[in-house]
Amino acid sequence: KEEIDVFPGMGINNELSGNVIDLCPVGALLDKDFMFQQRVWLLKTTPSIDPLTSSGDNINIEHNNNKVYRVKPRTNLDVNEYWITDEVRYGWKFIHDEFRVVASDDDTELLAADFLQKATRLALLVSPMITCEDAWLLGQLIRSIDANAIIGIGPIPIVGEDKTFPSGFTIRSEKAPNARGVRRALGDALTYDEWKTKIASADTVVVTGNYPEEWDTPTITDEQKLILIDTLQNELTVRADVFLPAATWAEKAGTFENYSNKLQLFEQALQPIGDAQAEGQIAMKLQALIDDMETTTFNPATVRLRMADAGILGMLEVELPMNTNRVDTDMPLSEL
């Protein structure tokens, strides 16, 4: 009798333990998180990028009926080779979090546009969790109204220190996927600490979140109007004068720039849940309302061309997802 098991008294307990599931050649090592959740032949695969850290690890999102069921590593020998951390493998569940806010009132966008038009001094805080394209469109919107707007980058979470394994694989302490990309997109932007010291003069503040967990939210005075674009409930959700639900990274396409300044494109896996929209789409809608024009559909590829035309270097040098080599069956499938 042969049995596959952990060595007695020596369980697998490290930040990369989930990779043994992918290594098993016969499927004997199973992921308890995924077991009995979905038939694998019904899953669709979308190439994506780690949305939680600055590593830029290449991943595949496996989903069905607009729900994510698991995340697996996607080979990129220049970035993460064949591996991902357990943090990335299991950290996607905020997409379907019960506390996610995905509804908005019918007149919310009109109210936000009205606040922006009436503002005498604007401040914008752009999260390092959103894409280059989203960040650029938000910056364009705010600067079109107030050329001297106070623009900053949101807090960049740092947890401990970088941890490098003997193979060279490194777990990054920086827990934001696009701090460098947001800075590239915005150009002259303040750090979070600098931004907080200057926003007292603003009468209207626009804040983006999209953090997967609690974050260091800024203090907004009662006299200031707050337009919040976010995903999960936090201290600002109740305080906001206008709340616009944002799409998570899995519900949009775009570009992240990792710790080594590599720009990587990822594709949209899910349709936005509820009223959620990409921050770039929200910016385009508000711009159209202010300019009294028809709204156009957010297209990240078109936005990258506009960014390149505006002199933002590198936006046409984006690394595309590698072919996943998946072959779908031509047989009709039905779920039992």
Is the Cβ–Cβ distance between 190 and 268 less than 8 Å?
Answer: no
| Mean pLDDT, residues 177-203 taken together | 97
| Mean pLDDT, residues 42-66 taken together | 97
Residues 82 and 120 in one domain: no
Residues 84 and 115 in one domain: no
Residues 51 and 181 in one domain: no
Residue 20, pLDDT score: 87
232 is a domain residue:
yes
| Mean pLDDT, residues 36-51 taken together | 93
12 is a domain residue:
no
- pLDDT tens for residues 271-308? 999 999 999 999 999 999 999 999 899 999 999 999 99
Residues 132 and 222 in one domain: yes
| Mean pLDDT, residues 26-54 taken together | 89
Residue 323, pLDDT score: 53
Strand partners, 207: 125, 228
Instruction: Domain count for the chain, please give it.
Output: 2
Residues 198 and 54 in one domain: no
Q: Give residue 325's pLDDT band: very low, low, confident or very high (50, 70, 90).
A: very low
Residue 36, pLDDT score: 80
Tokens standing for residue 274:
């509820």
Residues 123 and 62 in one domain: no
287 is a domain residue:
yes
Q: In what helix (H) or strand (E) does residue 264 lie, and over which residues does it extend?
A: strand 263-266
Is residue 168 scored above 50 in pLDDT? yes
Is residue 335 scored above 90 in pLDDT? no
Q: Kindly report the CATH number assigned to the domain that includes residue 165.
A: 3.40.50.740
Is residue 266 scored above 50 in pLDDT? yes
The domain containing residue 304 runs over which residues? 108-258+271-309
| Mean pLDDT, residues 238-265 taken together | 97
Residues 166 and 36 in one domain: no
Tokens 């999260």 belong to residue: 127
Residues 91 and 179 in one domain: no
- pLDDT tens for residues 131-164? 999 999 999 999 999 999 999 999 999 999 999 9
Residues 205 and 291 in one domain: yes
| Mean pLDDT, residues 97-124 taken together | 94
264 is a domain residue:
no
Residue 29, pLDDT score: 80
| Mean pLDDT, residues 233-252 taken together | 96
Distance CA 54, CA 174 (A): 6
Q: Does residue 235 sit in helix, strand or coil?
A: helix
| Mean pLDDT, residues 42-58 taken together | 97
Is the Cβ–Cβ distance between 145 and 122 less than 8 Å?
Answer: yes
In Å, how far are 73, 84, 102, 118, 257 from 50, measured between CA atoms? 9, 9, 22, 39, 11
Prediction pTM value? 0.91
| Mean pLDDT, residues 62-68 taken together | 97
Residues 251 and 230 in one domain: yes
List the one residue out of 209, 203, 192 whose CA is nearest residue 243: 209
Is residue 331 scored above 50 in pLDDT? no
Q: In what helix (H) or strand (E) does residue 132 lie, and over which residues does it extend?
A: helix 132-145
325 is a domain residue:
no
